[in-house]
Structure formats: C-alpha cells, structure tokens
Amino acid sequence: MYQPAASGAAVGVALDRSTRGRLGLNWDKELDEVARRRVLAQRMGGPEKVARQHENGKLTVRERIERLLDADSFREVGSIAGAARYDGTQLVDFVPANQVAGHGTIDMRPVAIVGDDFTVRGGASDASVYEKLLYPERLAHDLRMPIVRLVDGTGGGGSVRTLESMGFTYVPALPGWHILDGNLTRVPVIGLALGSVAGLGAARVAASHYSLMVRETAQIFAAGPPVVAHAGQQVTKEELGGSQLHARNGTVDDEVESEEVAFARTRRFLSYLPRSVYELPARVACDDDPNRREDSLATIVPHDERKVYTMRPIVEAIVDRASFFEIGRLWGRSVICGLARFNGVACALLASDPYHYGGAWTRASSEKLTRLVDLADTFHLPIVHLVDVPGFQIGVDAERAATIRAGVRAMSAIERSSVPWCTILVRKCFGVAGAANRPAGRLSMRYAWPSGSWGSLPIAGGLEAAYRADLEAAADPPRLRAQIEERLRAVTSPLRSAERFSVEEIIDPRDTRRLICEFVQLAHHALVPGPTAQPFRP
C-alpha cells in the first residue's frame, strides 16, 4: 500500500528558532514567506467568488479534491504558482493559478489529480500556468497512475483577452497534448465536467476512459451561447450543452445528480482497473458463491419472440452480488455496458437490451460497445457478452445514421481485442451484428440458453424475401407462407445447431453464473500485462 509521508515531518535534529539564528542556520523568514503565499493561494478567487461558486451549487476545487481523495492524502504540487504583483520587492497582490494539481490516493491507491479553479477568472487560460496543467498528466504518465481531471471552465483554453496581453496571435497548438493522448494508452483517465466547460476544457473531459457530467450545473460545448448567438442560434447553455443532450448522445458516458455522486462513481470506476496497463487488475475476495444458481433465470425469456424481457435483472443475477457498474445507461441503449466482477475477477460486461430496438445494434450502441471493448483490452479485463441481437437496426433512421460504418468499427474492436471472451447466447443472434457475438479468429467460450435462436436472417421478413417468386405464384399465398414457415421452424431448433457444433453447449440458464465463474478462473491466468496492440482512442 502506498501512502505519502505526513506533511511537515521533522528530519534530523530539531533546534529552536533562536539557536538556529545564532548559528546562522535560520531560513525561517523564507519559509514564513512560502507559508504566507500558501495561505494567499488557499483563498482561491477570494470570498466573494467562492460564495458565488457555492450559490451556483458547485464546490470549490479544493473542496472537490478533499472529497474525492482519501482523507489527508492530497500532496499539492505548484501550491504557490500564480500571478504576483510587486511594489519594488514587496509582494502586494497574489492571484493563484486557476488549476490545483498534485497527487493523492483513492482507496489507498495513488492517483494524479488536476482541477480547474472557476473562482479565478472563470477557469480561463489567461490565469492559468500551462506547465502546471501538464505536470499531473506527466506525473500520471511517467509514474504510471490514474489521472482524474476536475474540469470547470475552459481549462487552459483560449480567451481573446490574451491578444492584448501578449501582443500577437499564434497558430493554435496544444503543447503537451501528446501526453494527454499517451495517457489514454497507459493509465486510467477520468474526465469530470463540473461546470460549463468549453473548448479545451470540453476536450479534456472527452479525451478519457470514463467521463461524466453533473445534471444542471455542468454543460459541455465547443463554444458557449454567446459565440453560438453570433451564428444565429439563441439557446441557453443548458439547451446547448446540458446533460439532457450530452449524456444521451455519448459525449460523456454518464450524468449524475451531484458532485458527491460524481466522486463516488469515479472511485468505483477506478476500483475495477489496474494502476496502469503495465499491471493486471487486482482480484478481490468474493463472498458470493461462484456456484450460486439463480432460479429466476429459468423463466425470464418468453417463448413468444415478439415479447421482450428485461436484461438488467439477468446481469444482476449472475455477477458477484452488487458488483455491476453500468456505464452509459442513457445512450446507445440497445447495448448495456459496464464493469462487473465474477468470483472477484474484474470483467467488462456487454449485454443486449431488448427494450431498445429489440437489442439491435444502432450507431450509438455500436460506438458504446467499441468504447467498452477498447477499455477492456487496454486494461486487461476479460469480456462477458450476453447476446440477444436481431442484427443491425434496420430502416430509414438506421441508414441515415450511418449505422453500418459504426457497426463495422465495433466489429474491428471485437476482432482486434486480445482479452479472453465468454459469450452467452440468451436469445436472438442474427446477421452480421450477430456474428460479432465473439471474435472470430480466436477462442471464445460460448454457451447458449435453450431460448437461443439464430441464423443469417430471422424467418420473419427473411421468408418473404427468399420465397417471393413462390409466394407470388401461389393460389393461396398466406397458406403457402404458413407451410414454408412450419418447415423452416422445424430445422431451427438449437439442438440441430449443437449436433453440428455450430453452438458448443446448450445450458440451463440457472448455471450461467457458475459457468462464467469457471471461465474467469481460467481467463485471469491468460491475461498479459503491457500496452495493447490496438491503442485506445477516445
């Protein structure tokens, strides 16, 4: 376990102040000045600005860090960086830089942290010290620990005010972005939008493995309402970039109702992941019986294929009790994504949600699935896939959304992943999207429930296309259609597929947990630490 030393720890022999002075060893004046500046920096933007931050329903950056990290674990770096004003050699004013940075621990594991201080110039770049923004990123990168970004403002992005102070303009560049980007291939990165964030601030939230925003107090946009008004659109900041939009279109993974929940979810997300790609996720003790049979699973899927059922209770029933952490609940909703544990082993979990397009892959759900598979591959999490996929979403909306393009990207993510897979065919598995129930080129343990139903096309719809000429020529088309359907149904039993080893095992749904726990017991020995061949892209 890592724990920073207590601050102010005495080293060597302690001499009193007057003795130190007599011996010419007294640095108290200098240290007093450092302490004085720390006190000034702790005021942030001053009592008025701090009060306004609270009135707006937001915590200050220092309160946020204190509530996110383990008690007394924050070690600040750059605590007296900022803009000083001197009268001769006398310091007369000091405004701290509007990022607070350093490191600390979450659940006794080290993390780098950087937070914007909105009380100083609204988090804008003219009050920032760019090197200080990069320090925690480099710390996370080089010492291999997760980084959490508490974004509230433009977070180092531009302001036209800088034109006057600099006296020139520049071709835009993001010095150090390669470190932020490199972190995505190396350590867990979490972006929290905790206020109105624009430009680079928005980019710092989105360039993460897990992002969220607080309902009503956080908004995200490339440019805010005043700029957008110039383009002729009159909108409020909530209309332009609120969570009702961005937690539903995949800009961020999740929305939360408060900053406290944001911090709780951050801690929870990190609990499943290793410190960096160079380590494997920790296996935790599990007090839930890996052989637990869940009777409810035997009667959950209806025989009538037109009727739906709820997938989340299936997920909750098979994972270690209360270990499922859903990611992206409000977007790409035909696929349920999250992290979970089976017999203490952290896994990524994908599951179809029949309530949304019958579980069909939409553009958004393909993007969400890609993101989770890439996360799993980056941090060495075995993947468990509960499948009920009638195919890609069909129809005009689906074509307009460029679904197949996002779909094949998801298929590439699956194919190129290298972590062990376990697939449970719960019900439907059709078409190209169905074929992506596992990577084709390597082993996936796979089990089918007796409710399994698969093929290149479902009979309904597929029949009309394949037998059009026969049906058109028939004296009684409905009767012929019924006859053909009966013939086809007779050969679509999962048992016939099992005869040909097209499906490996048909199982009692009540045994699902036991079989997945067996899988992870084998799989976690096959995990290999290190960077992955397919680097994570946001």
Partner 1 sequence: MKRLLSPVSGTLREYLVAVGDRVTPETEVARVESMKMEIPVLAEFSGRVTALLANPSATLEEGQPLLELGA
What residue ranges bind partner 1 (CB under 8 A)? 305-308, 333, 354-358, 360, 390, 393-395, 397, 458, 460-461
CB of 389 to partner 1, least distance (A): 10
Contact between 469 and 477 (Cβ < 8 Å): no
Q: Which is nearer to partner 1, 382 or 452 (CB)?
A: 452
Query: How crowded is residue 485: how many other Cβ atoms within 10 Å of its Cβ?
Result: 14
In 272-362, where does DSSP find H-type helix?
312-318
Name which of 96 and 332 has its Cβ closer to partner 1. Answer: 332
Choose among 347, 319, 404: nearest CA to 523.
347
Burial of 86 (0-12, 13-18, 19+ CB in 10 A): exposed
On whether the CB atoms of residues 183 and 204 are closer than 8 A, the answer is no
Residue 109 pairs in a beta bridge with 106
Q: Which is nearer to partner 1, 208 or 393 (CB)?
A: 393
CB nearer to partner 1: pick between 461 and 530: 461
The nearest distance, CB 307 to partner 1, in angstroms, is 6
Q: Between residues 32 and 397, which has the closer beta carbon with respect to partner 1?
A: 397
Task: List all residues 6 or more positions away from 447 whose beta carbon is below 8 Å from its beta carbon.
Answer: 422, 423, 424, 425, 504, 505, 506, 507, 512, 515
Considering the complex, what minimum distance in angstroms separates the CB of residue 302 from partner 1?
Answer: 11
Smallest gap, in angstroms, from Cβ of residue 5 to partner 1? 49
Q: Where are the alpha helices (DSSP H) in 158-283?
A: 161-166, 177-184, 200-206, 225-230, 237-241, 243-246, 259-271
Residue 219 CB, nearest approach to partner 1 (Å): 20
Instruction: Pick between residue 42 and residue 249 the one whose CB is nearest to partner 1.
Output: 249
Minimum distance, C-beta of residue 36 to partner 1, in the bound complex (Å): 53
Instruction: Look at residues 253, 493, 533 and name the one whose alpha carbon lies nearest to residue 367.
Output: 253
Distance of CA 487 to the CA centre of its chain: 47
Of 43 and 312, the one with the shorter C-beta distance to partner 1 is: 312
End-to-end Cα separation, the chain, in angstroms: 31
Closer by beta carbon to partner 1, 47 or else 302: 302
Given the complex with partner 1, which of 68 and 436 has the nearer CB atom?
A: 436
Minimum CB separation of residue 422 from partner 1 in Å reads 26
Tokens 């409000």 found at:
330
- Closest by CA to 96, choosing from 42, 133, 55, is 42
Helix (H, G, I), strand (E, B) or coil at 416: helix
Nearer to partner 1, 94 or 467 (CB): 467
Least spacing, CB of residue 332 vs partner 1, in Å: 12
Q: Which two tokens stand for residue 277?
A: 């790609």
C-alpha 465/C-alpha 391 separation (Å) is: 16
CB of residue 157 to partner 1, shortest distance in Å: 31
> Please, what is the minimum distance in Å from the beta carbon of residue 461 to partner 1?
7
Left (φ > 0), alpha (ψ -120 to 50) or beta: where does 436 sit? Answer: alpha
**Which residue in 90, 89, 85, 100 sits closest to 38, CA to CA?**
100
* Helix, strand, coil percentages in the chain from 3-state DSSP, rounded to 5: 40, 20, 40
Which of the 8 DSSP states describes residue 402?
Answer: T
Q: Which residue, 348 or 364, is less far from partner 1 as judged by CB?
A: 364
Distance in Å, CB of 360 to partner 1, minimum: 5
Interatomic CA distance for residues 136 and 132, integer angstroms: 7
- Identify which of 179, 172, 250, 249 has the alpha carbon closest to the alpha carbon of residue 211: 250
